[in-house]
């Protein structure tokens, strides 16, 4: 029982690090999703303005 403070400190550091890492992952995922949305919008604009485009963009129906 004399080293309980060290155990508490180690547990706090581990949980703190875990929370910081999860926060980093969440922010990174949001940035990736925003970039994916921008790329999808760009592809859609390019498909709409492409010369000779036939509409749906689906090769099975075009």
pLDDT digits (tens, 9 = 90+) for 3-41: 999 999 999 999 999 999 999 999 999 999 999 999 999
CA–CA separation, 52 vs 43, rounded Å?
15
User: Half-sphere exposure of 59 toward its Cβ, with a 13 Å CA cutoff?
Assistant: 0
Q: Higher-confidence residue: 58 or 50?
A: 50
- For the cut 80, the answer to whether the pLDDT of residue 62 exceeds it is no
CA distance 54 to 61: 10
Q: Can you give the pTM of this predicted structure? A: 0.64
pLDDT of residue 59: 61
The span from the CA of 9 to the CA of 24, in Å, is: 22
């Amino acid at each position: 029982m004399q080293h309980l403070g060290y155990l508490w400190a180690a547990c706090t550091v581990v949980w703190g690090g875990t929370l910081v890492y999860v926060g980093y992952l969440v922010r990174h995922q949001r940035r990736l999703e925003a970039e994916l949305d921008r790329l999808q919008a760009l592809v859609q604009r390019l498909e709409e303005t492409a010369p000779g485009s036939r509409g749906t963009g689906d090769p099975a129906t075009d």
